[in-house]
Amino acid sequence: MTRPEFTPIPPPGRALAIGAHPDDIEFGAGGTLAAWARAGSHVVMAVMTDGSKGSWNPEENPAALVERRATEQRAAAGVLGATGVEMLGNVHGELENSMGLRSRVAALVRSYRPDVVLSHDPWARYEIHPDHRATGWAVVDGVVAARDHLFFPEHDLDHHRPELLLLWRAAEPDHWEDIAPTFDVKLEALMRHQSQHHTTMGNAGAGASEREAFAERLRGYAAEQGALVGLGAAESFKRIRL
Ligand SMILES: [Zn+2]
């Protein structure tokens, strides 16, 4: 098998990353976004849902959890160097790729005018989380709508065509970003999602050894992605030229 080619792109002027839940963007593209922000890119993170199901604690108050997760998301964005966060506030677990959601994505694209849009890959096989699938589809469909002025004229915003769509956790990755220089920033941003330490991060906040175990898992995944193109640590994507 021939090795796929590592074809880095220059940091875009503006990037818009759209994730289903607080922390999805950091897992999928945190290292890439941190590198771009360092290079001067304007990075905006949009989160589709309120994260209100993200707890294993039977005593959890969902309203308090929503507030906490928004605060954590802003802190994580600060670590990555993002310039903006949009919390769209849809109910966690109940997201649907409706015309309303497509319109919301198109309006975000027309407002922020990104060169690159990043999100979940809706074609990823065996993706069981409905919010990840719905977000991927809404982003692909919303980007298509944003480019032509006759879609959603009620936005009263100029149409906008990003150059690239990058989809993380892709079924067929064909683009890699070197995250060796920003791996620690990605880890630090993820650690700001303290409410998730217990659920998706192996209790990473409990102590130094738990944090290191989580870092090791993250490092292993980045190394696996990077090995495909001869990098020590990478995030991989499906790249779609628009
Ligand atoms: Zn998620």
Give the per-residue pLDDT at 109: 98
How many angstroms does the Cα of residue 21 sit away from the middle of ligand 1? 5
How many angstroms does the Cα of residue 115 sit away from the middle of ligand 1? 24
Give the per-residue pLDDT at 1: 57
How many angstroms does the Cα of residue 25 sit away from the middle of ligand 1? 9
Give the per-residue pLDDT at 33: 98
Residues of the chain with pLDDT under 50: none
User: What DSSP line would sit under 32-60, residue for residue?
Assistant: HHHHHHHTT-EEEEEEEE--TT----TT-
What 3-state class would DSSP assign to 164?
strand
How many angstroms does the Cα of residue 140 sit away from the middle of ligand 1? 17
Per residue in 214-239, pLDDT (tens digit) is: 999 999 999 999 999 999 999 999 99
Q: Up-side HSE of residue 93: CA atoms within 13 Å toward CB? A: 5
How many angstroms does the Cα of residue 84 sit away from the middle of ligand 1? 20
How many angstroms does the Cα of residue 107 sit away from the middle of ligand 1? 22
- For CA atoms 149, 151, 156, 161, give the dihedral sign: negative
How many angstroms does the Cα of residue 20 sit away from the middle of ligand 1? 5
How many angstroms does the Cα of residue 231 sit away from the middle of ligand 1? 26
How many angstroms does the Cα of residue 229 sit away from the middle of ligand 1? 27
Strands 42-49 vs 14-19: parallel, antiparallel or unpaired: parallel
How many angstroms does the Cα of residue 17 sit away from the middle of ligand 1? 13
How many angstroms does the Cα of residue 138 sit away from the middle of ligand 1? 15
How many angstroms does the Cα of residue 133 sit away from the middle of ligand 1? 10
User: What gap in Å lies between CA 11 and CA 37, rounded to an integer?
Assistant: 8
How many angstroms does the Cα of residue 154 sit away from the middle of ligand 1? 31
Residue ranges near ligand 1 (ion) with Cβ within 5 Å: 20-21, 24
How many angstroms does the Cα of residue 23 sit away from the middle of ligand 1? 7
Contact 205, 211 (CB under 8 A): yes
User: What gap in Å lies between CA 239 and CA 98, rounded to an integer?
Assistant: 24
User: What gap in Å lies between CA 204 and CA 211, rounded to an integer?
Assistant: 4
Contact 236, 173 (CB under 8 A): yes
User: What gap in Å lies between CA 131 and CA 97, rounded to an integer?
Assistant: 9
How many angstroms does the Cα of residue 132 sit away from the middle of ligand 1? 6
pTM of the predicted model, to two decimals?
A: 0.96
Per residue in 118-129, pLDDT (tens digit) is: 999 999 999 999
Identify each DSSP E strand in 73-133 by its residue range. 84-90, 116-120
